[in-house]
A and B are shown apart, each in its own frame.
Chain A
Amino acid sequence: MKVNQISIFLENKSGRLSDVARILGENNINIRALSLADTTDFGILRLIVNDTEKADRLLKENGFTVGKTEVVAVEVEDRPGGLARILEILNKDDINVEYMYAFVERSRNNAVIIFRFDDKCTDRAIKLLNKSGIIVLEGKKIYNL
């Protein structure tokens, strides 16, 4: 029930983000979701792609520092209150969200929210969400959206 995410260290200098996009594009890797966190000096690009292993290998070959993390993807109706309900469930059980980002599915009327929990909490969070009737998406499904 977990989704593989790759993260890439980027110095804040022009051209680095476009280098990543170009390498993935030239190798036919499709980006499903992304988020970029930045500080004054550096940024961390987090990506979910259709071929995690290939993207990881290609970026490393091109000199990038790449990490792999397991995140949780949750489907939620694209309407007001959708996110609030999920966060409430997590909050009640004291599960802290390290970071999250969201995108809207093209074919359906739903949003997908990607959650990064503390490693120790991930399994507990998935169980809790399942129990509460929230749809946790499998990796396969996200990669092939």
Chain B
Amino acid sequence: MIWDEEFETLPREAMQALQLKRLQQVAQRVYNTVPFYKRAFDQAGIKPDSIKTLADLAKLPFTIKDDLRENYPFGMFSVPMSEVVRIHASSGTTGKPTVVGYTRRDINTWAELMARTLSCGNVTKGDIVHNAYGYGLFTGGLGAHYGAERIGASVIPMSGGNTKKQIMIMQDFGSTVLTSTPSYALFMAETAAEMGVDFKSLKLRVGIFGAEPWSDNMRKEIEEKLNISAIDIYGLSEVIGPGVASECEEAKCGLHIFEDHFIPEIIDPNTKEVLPYGEKGELVFTCITKEAFPLIRYRTRDISALHAEPCRCGRTLVRMDRVSGRSDDMLIIRGVNVFPSQIESVLMEIEGLEPHYMIIVDREGSLDTLEVQVEVNERLFSDEIKVLEAMEARITKDIKEMLGVAAKVKLVEPKTIERSMGKAKRVIDKRKM
């Protein structure tokens, strides 16, 4: 079902004309209101009014995550704080989160986009939406919540955790739609099995899954175990949150990007050249309707490709492939963004530790596990077990404080971690996705 028939099925030329108009407006606005963009445009030698065609987008400067960090917390906002009605944040890379703001109109736009997203999964006002995305600074919970309310469905604001209760409520309230991370859906399946609850006896029909990378194999597993149809959605808080792109249940063939709000590009992450449709590269978004936090050419670091052919569901929106990786080394562990450099900085804080470490990510059942192997050297070594165990406990605690994710720390013999020429291999990701 298409929520916004007019914009989701706009002919290409009309869409491009709309995008150009909105791009010109937003470029003008950020140039005048965000000092960072004035500097960046000036350095690139471009004025907002020299944008004449959509191809001129490629002349605009990129925005990267470091820019957001340097302008923490509100430096990238393009409206006065009195216009900001909501603040969200995503997990940070050096302890500081990335902060995003919304005006009243942005919240309305976001609700519309999430209504489109849920409609891609054929959610209607007759549905009961079990929302297990986390509520809070994370955009998932409130994003899905507002979209479901916009449609007129009945929302159960579950948030994450307390899984047995979730299953009970799903059973008793007759939830028909599940919104959560895909790994949490699988965890629910395990918990239900332990409780002796069969998903076939539930009314659940469709799941709207995002916020972490997953695969078609995982989709099959979820669809079988939960006896539902599973939809992949895409979003990131810097762009708006969930509601940037969504698969349709009809085709499940790429995610429709809501291009009347976000212009997508695919670039070569090394040369930064824009790549044509069909080619794989890094996904870049320009927010053309947002008021409080409009980013120009934001480099997501997610690897995907774009396809312009219309979909059989009737939408004319450009589709992106399921995200297949990252152009940086970011890991997503239990929904939390983790950079190996963060773990390294924890280790370097500890007197006597050498920067030889290995990060091993795996999945036990449906939950991600993080193991950090650290080499023991003579400065750290002791003939007493308690000294080494105290060291492990300290590293574990420091990592937990830094990342918010529990890691298992394992001391290993020196020189057992592979030394490589050039860029060291720090991560082994054993998760089969």
Within 8 A of A (CB), among B395-427: 410-416
Residue of A37, A39, A65 touching B381 (CB-CB under 8 A): A65
**Given known A44-B388, A63-B413, A65-B413, contact A5–B383 (CB-CB < 8 A):** yes
In-complex Cβ contact of B413 among A9, A37, A39, A99 (8 A): A9
* Residue numbers in B under 8 Å from A41 (CB-CB): 410-411
Evaluate contact between B385 and A39: CB separation under 8 angstroms. Answer: yes
Question: A10 CA to B415 CA in the complex, in Å?
Answer: 13
The CA-CA distance from A95 to B388 in the complex, in Å, is: 22
Q: Which residue of A lies closest to B386 (CB)?
A: A98
List A83-101 residues whose CB lies under 8 Å from chain B. 98-99
From B392, which residue of chain A is reached at the shortest CB distance?
A41
Alpha-carbon distance A66/B381, docked complex (angstroms): 8
| Complex interface: chain B residues within 8 A of A99 (CB) | 384
In-complex Cβ contact of A116 among B376, B377, B383, B416 (8 A): B383
A63:B385 contact, CB within 8 angstroms? no
> A122 within 8 Å of B by Cβ?
no
Q: Which B351-405 residues have C-beta < 8 A from chain A?
A: 376-378, 381-385, 388-389
- How many B residues are at the interface, by size bracket? 10 to 19
Contacts of B410 in A (CB 8 A): 41-42
Give which listed residue, B382, B389, B415, contacts A63 with CB less than 8 A: B415
Residues of A within 8 A of B416 (CB): 11
As a 0/1 sequence over residues 65 to 94 of chain A, the CB contacts with chain B under 8 angstroms (1 = contact) are 111010000000000000000000000000
A contact residues around B385 at 8 Å (CB): 37, 39, 44
Over the window 42-80 of chain A, the binary record of Cβ atoms lying under 8 Å from chain B Cβ atoms (1 yes, 0 no) is: 101010000000000000000111110100000000000
How many residues on the A side are at the interface (Cβ–Cβ under 8 A)? 21
Contact B414 A44, beta carbon cutoff 8 Å: no
| Alpha-carbon distance A39/B385, docked complex (angstroms) | 8
Q: Is the CB of A66 within 8 A of B413?
A: no
Contact (Cβ within 8 A) B413 A64: yes
For A6-20 the 0/1 string (1 means CB < 8 A from B) is 010111000010000
Alpha-carbon distance between A98 and B385 when the two chains are bound, in angstroms = 10
A3 to B378 Cα, complex, angstroms:
20
> A44 to B414, alpha carbons, bound, how many Å?
14
> Could you tell me if A67 and B414 are in contact, using CB atoms closer than 8 angstroms?
no
Q: Given A39-B389, A42-B388, do A67 and B381 touch, yes or no (CB 8 Å)?
A: yes
Complex interface: chain A residues within 8 A of B389 (CB)? 39
Q: A63 CA to B382 CA in the complex, in Å?
A: 16
- In the bound complex, how far is the Cα of B354 from the Cα of A65, in angstroms? 14
Contact of A67 among B378, B411, B413 (CB under 8 A): B378
Complex Cα spacing A42 to B416, Å:
14
Q: How far is the CB of A55 from chain B (nearest CB, A)?
A: 14
B377 to A69, Cβ gap below 8 A? no
Chain A hits for B412, CB < 8 A:
11, 42
Give A69 to B384 CA distance when docked, in angstroms.
10
Q: Is B413 within 8 A of A46, CB to CB? A: no
In the bound complex, do residue A44 and residue B383 qualify as a contact, i.e. CB atoms below 8 Å apart? yes
Please determine whether B383 and A42 come into contact, CB atoms closer than 8 angstroms: no
Distance between Cα atoms of A116 and B383 in the complex (Å): 10
- For residue A13, give the distance in angstroms from its CB to the closest CB of chain B: 9
Complex Cα gap A65–B384 (Å) = 14
Complex interface: chain A residues within 8 A of B377 (CB) = 65
Give chain B residues whose Cβ lies under 8 Å from the Cβ of A5.
383
The residues of B that contact A65 with a CB separation of less than 8 Å are: 376-378, 381, 413-414
Say whether A10 contacts B383, CB under 8 Å.
no
21 residue pairs bridging A and B, Cβ less than 8 Å apart: A7-B381, A9-B388, A9-B411, A9-B413, A11-B413, A11-B416, A16-B413, A39-B385, A41-B410, A41-B411, A42-B388, A42-B410, A42-B411, A44-B384, A44-B388, A63-B415, A65-B377, A67-B381, A67-B382, A67-B383, A98-B384
Q: Please name the 7 residue pairs, one residue from A and one from B, whose CB atoms are nearest each other, closest first.
A: A7-B383, A65-B381, A69-B383, A11-B413, A67-B381, A9-B376, A41-B410
